């Protein structure tokens, strides 16, 4: 039970920390808006929770130093393994949502070398960098923190149980939303972008001077939900088609320029 509590607390610290990072990344880098990141309504992104747990496990449980007598090589293998593992987790999670719920939680379709818009070389390198940063910088801090949690694990078990209960309810609510979205676009083969749909709902309500809920981003009148979903999907599809057309036009322009030479 003690180890379950330790890793459970670590998971939630990573999930909440990842949510905060994503929140500011969307505000100042990607979407330029305050948008509640992730699939869930609450301030957690489970992918980051699994990430920090796996980094801790890779760094402290797996005996990498027994691979060879070259210490730096063993550490390098550890870092690459951690980055690869998180890329696989990201791919599997993205694939489950695309195939099972017809929603895309993140979209790398415009990134070079992407696979199904779920993973791409750039973000695989970012996972690799995160793994390296954890191994070389943060792991000693997390070891100390886990030791402190282990010494008082029984006191952590109650708040962890409450957090887990809330997470389960939140997940059920979000799956219900995803099901409603899938039903709204059942007549099309389009996969809905979860994050872009949140922004679309926010903009739709703001244009009509209606209140938009930060945590419950899809909260709206029942009779408006289906129409807003279809409107968002159509808008996102047009934006993507326009982007593809622009890329094709640039490609043709380059070809014409080469022929002219």
**How does pLDDT run across 91-114, given as a tens digit for each residue?**
999 999 888 888 888 889 888 999
CB atoms within 10 A of CB 226: 14
CB of 192 closer than 8 Å to CB of 233? yes
Report pLDDT digits (tens) over 42-94: 999 999 999 999 999 999 999 988 888 888 899 999 999 999 999 999 999 99
Residue in the structure block whose two tokens are 């990842």: 18
Residue 212 has pLDDT above 80, yes or no: no
Selection from 24, 210, 182 nearest residue 100 by Cα: 182
Which position has the higher pLDDT, 212 or 261?
212
Q: Which residue has the tokens 């489950």?
A: 96
* Residue 261 confidence (pLDDT): 62
pLDDT at 148: 92
pLDDT, position 232: 81
Strand partners, 104: 193
Across 119-149, b (16+ Cβ under 10 Å) vs e yields: bbeebbeebbebbbebbeebbeebeebbeeb
Residue 104: strand, helix, or coil: strand
Rounded Cα distance, 99 and 135, in Å: 34
Distance CA 218, CA 211 (A): 11
pTM, two decimal places: 0.87
23, 71, 145, 252 from 259: Cα distances, Å: 47, 54, 63, 11
Q: What is the pLDDT of residues 167-189, one digit of tens each?
A: 999 999 999 988 888 888 877 77
Residues 212 and 27: their CA atoms lie apart, in Å, by 16
For residue 67, what are the contacts with CB-CB under 8 A and spacing of at least 6? Answer: 73, 74, 77
| Domain ranges for the chain | 2-260
pLDDT value of residue 44: 95
Cα–Cα distance between 40 and 186 in angstroms, integer?
22
Residue 206's pLDDT is what?
77
């Amino acid at each position: 039970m003690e180890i379950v509590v330790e890793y459970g607390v670590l998971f939630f610290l990573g999930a909440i920390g990842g949510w905060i990072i994503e929140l500011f990344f969307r505000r100042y880098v990607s979407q330029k808006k305050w948008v509640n990141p992730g699939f869930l309504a609450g301030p957690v992104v489970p992918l980051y929770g699994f990430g920090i747990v796996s980094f801790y496990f890779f760094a402290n449980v797996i005996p990498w130093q027994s691979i060879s007598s070259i210490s730096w090589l063993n550490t390098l293998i550890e870092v690459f393994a951690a980055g690869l593992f998180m890329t696989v987790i990201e791919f599997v999670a993205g694939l489950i949502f695309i195939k099972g719920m017809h929603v895309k939680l993140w979209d790398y379709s415009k990134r070079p070398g992407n696979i199904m818009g779920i993973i791409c070389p750039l973000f695989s390198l970012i996972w690799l960098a995160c793994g390296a940063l954890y191994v070389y910088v943060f792991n000693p801090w997390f070891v100390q923190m886990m030791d402190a949690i282990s010494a008082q694990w029984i006191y952590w078990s109650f708040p962890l149980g409450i957090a887990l209960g809330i997470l389960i309810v939140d997940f059920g609510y979000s799956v219900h939303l995803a099901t409603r979205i899938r039903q709204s676009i059942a007549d099309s083969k389009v996969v809905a972008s979860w994050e872009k749909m949140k922004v679309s709902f926010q903009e739709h309500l703001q244009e009509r001077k209606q209140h938009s809920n930060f945590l419950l981003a899809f909260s709206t009148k029942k009779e408006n939900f289906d129409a807003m979903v279809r409107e968002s999907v159509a808008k996102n599809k047009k934006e993507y088609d326009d982007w593809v057309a622009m890329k094709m036009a640039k490609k043709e322009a380059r070809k014409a320029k080469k022929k002219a030479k």
